[in-house]
Chains A and B, each alone.
Chain A
Amino acid sequence: MTARVGVVTFPGSLDDGDAARAVRIAGAEPVRLWHGDPELHGVDAVVLPGGFSYGDYLRCGAIARFAPVMETLVDAARGGLPVLGICNGFQILCEAHLLPGALTRNQHLHFRNRDQVLRVESAGTAWTNTFQPGQEILIPVKNGEGCYVADTATLDELEADGRVVARYVGGNPNGSQRDIAAITNAAGNVVGIMPHPEHAVEALTGPSLDGLGFFTSVLKHLVGTPA
């Protein structure tokens, strides 16, 4: 049976189509979810895509966090539903307190789009289990507010618990503390990542195929998850 992976569209979501394409290329069925509909339509996992939900007004992700779909999603995520937040999705997950810390304005104050090397630090999550720990991958980064910050205790806890999922290598594109590019929750089912794995799933349009691993990981995870 094909896994069904939901992709939420908020007003201002931009990479929702790309996330759906990545899900499809990975071999799952993408299911488009609407911000105003609290129903998750029985999906097996959810991707919160990149973009500028609600125009990034107030704070990135601050308004999307109150969308009807998020009410349901937060509960489901706490119950173990795999959720991947990419870029704006990561920001929403932080605003929704599914992940600790916050994403702030890039230290150099510019939007930055480049092909970025990441080191996968944790292959134990629902979204990274097809990678090797320490594996270096190449994925586009593109954000204006991708500087990950948290208090020292939180950072230390993330490190100690192996919850730093990926780090920037060869240059930190936004000033994130401890070069953090992606983190996960304690259970490993919710992952927030600032770079865009959905833009590295086709040789023709991406710098590598490394992004595909995030989407195949969740399928592997779902196969191993008791129904």
Chain B
Amino acid sequence: MTTHQDPAVRAAAGSVPAEPHAAVAPPAGPADAGRHNGPAPALDWADGVDTVQRAAGTGDELQPYAELGLRDDEYDRIRHILGRRPTQAELAMYSIMWSEHCSYKSSKVHLRQFGEKAPPSDRLLAGIGENAGVVRVSDTLAVTFKVESHNHPSFVEPYQGAATGVGGIVRDILAMGARPVAVMDPLRFGAADHPDTARVLPGVVAGVGGYGNCLGLPNIGGELVFDPCYQGNPLLNALCLGVLPVDRLQKKDAAGPGNIVVLLGAKTGRDGIGGVSVLASATFDEGSEKRRPSVQVGDPFIEKLLIEACLELYDAELVVGIQDLGGAGLTCALTETAASAGTGMRVWLERVPLREPSMEPHEILASESQERMLLVVTPEKLEAVLKTAEKWGVLATAIGEVTAPAPDGRPGRLLVTWNDHVVVDVPPGSLVDDGPVYARPMREPADLILLQADRAETLPRPSNPEALRETLLRMIASPNLADKTWVTEQYDRYVLGNTVLAQPEDSGVIRIDEQSGLGVALSVDGNGRYARLDPYQGTKLALAEAYRNVAVTGAKPIAVTNCLNFGSPEDPGVMWQFAEAVRGLADGCLELGIPVTGGNVSFYNQTGAAAIHPTPVVGVLGVLDNVADRVPMGFVPRTGGDHDQLFLLGDTHVELSGSEWAWVTHEHLGGMPPQVDLGRERQLAELMAEAARVGHLSSAHDLSDGGLAQSLVESCLRRGVGARVGVPERFADGSLPFVFLYSESAGRVLVSVPRGHEKAFTALCTERGVPWEQIGVTDPTSDALDVHGQFRIGLDELRAVHTATLPRLFGGSEAAQVQVEAARTGTTTIAPATAGQPVDVPEREQPADADDPAGEAVAAPATAAPVSGGPVSGGPETRAATAAGPDASAGSAPAPAAPAGSAPTSDAASGADTASAAGGHDVDVPTAGSTPQAGADDAAASGTGDGGGQRPTPDQR
């Protein structure tokens, strides 16, 4: 095919504006005499087309702009720009390009901070405003990554909504010139046991898997979070990572007048019409199910071919510019590529291959049919482009050509004809850059003060070993902390053969250069509860967690992406949350010294008046010079009685507000989220990178939801290696052992260190200013997690309880049944698999426990010590002694007490301090923290050899 012929221009000279670059803003009005000659409007209408010419002559005609989501003033503005009423096609284009989803009209004024506060980076090859940020990771290689939402479609039609969410972000990455190499999927659903969750979740998971698996992209991580706030608005965020040679970076500019515009990929159908304007930019109501036709339908097979075809085109240098077609379809691609280059474009719409021949121009322009890319190629390379497309069996059609800017230098115009009728004649920049921008009213939600005052630190806590044991089993079975294998084994994590780490590890790690071992680590994290309590801190906490998750693998964090999921921007409370979140992320990135490279905003995540928790999801990317140095999360099996030392890095405060425990046990959300110290996070990251590089670490696992207890269980179960842990002396009394295990203080990591590395490692911690404390040892021969003086639980029981929840909720397989059986028979205690709904049961009756005949004697700690014949031989010693010695034989127990005078109260600790003073429960404020050096100083002072990093004694009340 060819585009050099111009039948439209030849045949329809009378209907084409004589001066396409004429002034764009004469007074709005019905008449433009110069354009009103030619065929009568009635004739055009008889053809079923609303032409520019007809529009100019029928200015009073009523148009359904409100139904398309445009406000009165926005519509007036379109008329002003065009100097007439828009045609039906133009109206459709403006309505989608000026929708919240495409124009960022409510968020723009805030998002500027990402640029203004960006730390300098010489790695950034493409940043915000491009399809995805591109970061240089070596002299020759760059990576690109971005996370995007597809929330609304995934609620309406879970499988296709999720599938096309993956497809869309993959094309963004492809458009940068990169080969997509991995995906991740942060997912959020309503209550795990809600019937509609059982409808949405399996469909979403199957959609993410169905598309990603068929594309051949390993799924290396994500999130699975349940909270009632997402009941009517589940969140499907999808991240894609791509790799490219630095010199293969592609642009989206439709540069070079005379160049050909080629549509590559699938045929255009009626799917997804109005997706962005009708779906993504309005809140849900009772008619939502009727919107199913607005959800796109994906075909991953076509996308796979599209990927291979595009990569071949890039390598042969056949492409001048490229843009993916996603939300807003052809409209967005045509206007963005032209606006980006300042050129104009001439498009023959009837050349677009259609799935349904009856489609009208505005439908073709608005269609969100998947698996399409727009290419700009030079005329002499068109044949080669078409040939490559044919090799891969992908449709390629020349649909237009680039036209020159106006002689006076002003940008060109986008002129679209359909069977010789001019249906669109607009300045492309007016759709892309001149959309409305709103500084929407903001107001702190009225309930926030009360919410923040209702602190979880005052809630009743488990304060004896039996209750603690029961709490642990209930927590690891709760939906947010339970094993996610039911979901993740529906995803291919092996394809492409470069997956070094994947879920449930803290980060996904992908090798990008087989020769050098160069690789990247990626993590995505968010915590809607924290953000609800304090959107500024909550967003920093999300950033800190993702950053830490990358760091614990040994990678150096270098770049940030984000997906900001919020309610309606028309609600001042939501807008305030959004502004605070953006400010938190921008400030946080500045403090950490890593730039935001791109992201996505999803508003209107609310049903009726109820918005979701503000849910900023933050993705952090790090670099590993050699992926062989990566540190996994699981304790390592050892033979011959050998074991590793366990260290807890960072400070533990009494921080329970917003915690998973408060939610699971008390259905409580209130108080202030944990303190976040990004300077400390940075020190920690530098420490982890160095320790990984020199081989000090056999495992490292971030502490976050569910605190230390959750991390211990996960590290034990990962490779089936037990551990013995001692509760430090200052956490010995009352409910403090619980605080030690379940506080969600940020900036903490659980590491295991092989024999012989302890001194060097702790010296390094001290040097880097990171507090450390030895808390126990791995116990490869025990097959149990033993928290000394508290409980001892076999790994089989932990595993059975931990893995049974999702299969029980979402149906399962034969294997799941086996696991449930194991849970039922493997323990006579309180496996939630037998109990129905663990979430709703705050404190159970103390069950009989075969392992612990003294179970009822909760008031006497001594009698609650394990007597089950495990490796701990201490028995019922005094608490002070037992707590100190998880491994007497190794001579590495934490010192029983810290020296006096070493209990300065750090700022961070004082926050917790003040908070819990009001608590009135049986607690406790460990004024941990102190200065970074304190741990080391104490260790030296107390003379406990290699184990010593003891910290100050808590201030008992």
Contact = CB atoms under 8 A, between A and B. Distances in A.
B498 interface: yes
Contacts of A55: 214, 299-302
B496 A17 contact: yes
A57 B305 CA distance: 14
Given A18-B496, A171-B818, A108 B813 contact: yes
B495 A111 contact: no
Contacts of B300: 52, 55
Given A51-B216, A205-B497, A12 B813 contact: no
Contacts of B490: 110-113
Contact of B628 (A142, A144, A175, A204): A204
B592 to A, nearest CB: 29
A21 B514 CA distance: 10
The interface size bin for chain A is: 35 or more
Interface residues of B, number: 38
B494 A114 contact: no
A101 B10 CA distance: 62
A18 B497 contact: yes
A15 interface: yes
B489 A112 contact: yes
A interface SS class: loop
B493 interface: yes
B393 A198 contact: no
Contacts of B302: 55
A107 B814 CA distance: 9
Contact of B489 (A50, A57, A113, A172): A113
Given A54-B301, A55-B299, A142-B492, A110 B206 contact: yes
A206 B206 CA distance: 24
A205 B491 contact: no
A50 B812 CA distance: 26
A15 B627 contact: no
B627 A11 contact: no
Contact of A198 (B209, B299, B491, B497): B497
Interface string A15-59: 101100100000000000000000000000000001110111100
Interface string B317-350: 0000000000000000000000000000000000
Given A15-B216, A110-B206, A205 B305 contact: no
A199 B491 CA distance: 15
Contacts of A113: 488-494
Contact of B494 (A21, A57, A142): A142
Given A108-B813, A111-B213, A204-B627, A12 B495 contact: no
Contacts of A114: 485, 489
A140 interface: yes
Q: Which of B485, B814, B818 has the most CB of A within 10 A?
A: B814
B569 interface: no
Nearest to A19: B497
B393 A11 contact: yes
Contacts of B896: none
A14 interface: yes
Given A51-B216, A171-B815, A205-B511, A111 B494 contact: no
B301 A199 contact: no
Most chain A CB atoms below 10 A, which of B393, B488, B511, B815:
B815
Nearest to B219: A113
Interface string B275-315: 00000000000000000000000011110110000000000
Interface in A180-222: 196, 198-199, 202, 204-206
A110 B215 CA distance: 17
A54 to B, nearest CB: 7
A205 B495 contact: no
Contacts of B497: 15, 17-18, 21, 198-199, 202, 205
Contacts of B488: 113
B489 A12 contact: no
Nearest to B301: A55
Interface string B468-496: 00000000000000000100111111111
Contacts of B489: 110, 112-114
A12 B306 CA distance: 11
A39 B763 CA distance: 63
Contacts of A54: 301
A91 to B, nearest CB: 14
A204 B511 contact: yes
Nearest to A203: B628
Given A54-B301, A112-B489, A204-B511, A18 B495 contact: yes
Interface in A95-121: 107-108, 110-114
Contacts of B399: none
Contact of B301 (A11, A111, A144, A205): A11
B499 interface: yes
A113 B218 CA distance: 11
Given A21-B497, A113-B490, A142-B492, A12 B301 contact: yes
Which of A11, A114, A206 has most chain B Cβ within 10 Å? A11
Contact of A205 (B210, B213, B393, B498): B498
Nearest to B205: A110
B723 to A, nearest CB: 23
Contacts of A50: 495
Contact of B495 (A14, A112, A144): A14
A113 B304 CA distance: 20
B299 A15 contact: no
* Residue with the highest number of chain B CB atoms closer than 10 Å, among A12, A54, A198: A12
A107 B206 CA distance: 15
Interface in B205-233: 206, 209-210, 213-216
Given A140-B494, A204-B500, A204-B511, A111 B209 contact: yes
A11 to B, nearest CB: 6
B418 interface: no
A51 B392 CA distance: 16
Nearest to A170: B815
A66 to B, nearest CB: 14
Nearest to B202: A110
A204 B519 CA distance: 12
Contacts of B498: 205
A108 B814 contact: yes
B581 to A, nearest CB: 35
A202 B337 CA distance: 43
Contacts of B492: 111, 113, 142
Contacts of B392: 11
Contacts of A107: 814
A204 B300 CA distance: 29
A15 B812 CA distance: 28
A44 B398 CA distance: 43
A114 B511 CA distance: 20
A111 B491 CA distance: 7
A12 B210 CA distance: 13
A17 B179 CA distance: 14
A51 B627 CA distance: 26
Nearest to B493: A113
Nearest to A13: B216
B502 to A, nearest CB: 10
Contacts of B814: 107-108, 171-172, 175
Nearest to A196: B494
A11 B303 CA distance: 11
Given A55-B299, A171-B815, A204-B627, A199 B305 contact: no
Nearest to A173: B815
A111 B489 CA distance: 7
A14 to B, nearest CB: 3
Given A11-B301, A12-B304, A199-B497, 4 more contacts: A11-B392, A15-B497, A55-B214, A111-B491
Interface of A: 11-12, 14-15, 17-18, 21, 50-52, 54-57, 107-108, 110-114, 140, 142, 144, 171-173, 175, 196, 198-199, 202, 204-206
15 contacts: A11-B393, A12-B301, A15-B216, A50-B495, A55-B214, A55-B299, A55-B300, A56-B214, A111-B209, A112-B489, A113-B488, A113-B490, A142-B213, A204-B511, A205-B494
